[in-house]
Amino acid sequence: MTDNQPSPKRDFLFPRSKYWGEFTPQQLAFNANLQEFAQRVSFVCNLETGGKMSADDAYDEIKRLWKDLKKSKANLIDAEASPPPELPPEE
């Protein structure tokens, strides 16, 4: 197996879907972050359901993951959509 291909175990645990949206580097990066968020939320839910994590800890972890995703959106998507700040006129 080559170094640039994920192992079957990693591919099973961390599946990635193809990106079908409008391509920009920022959109692609946010999509990867969104997929990671969904995967981690699923893990946290499974840990809580299986009794390995308390409901309060699961809630706190999902809340933290959500805040991270919101920051990612602000830095990647919202920053891309907003016009650059105007520079003061040169004298």
pLDDT in tens, 69-82: 999 999 999 987 77
The pTM for the full model equals 0.73
* Pick from 41, 32, 42: nearest CA to 65: 41
What the block records as the tokens of 4 is: 């640039």
Both ends of the chain: CA-CA distance in Å? 61
Element (H, E) at 50: none
pLDDT in tens, 14-31: 666 777 888 899 999 999
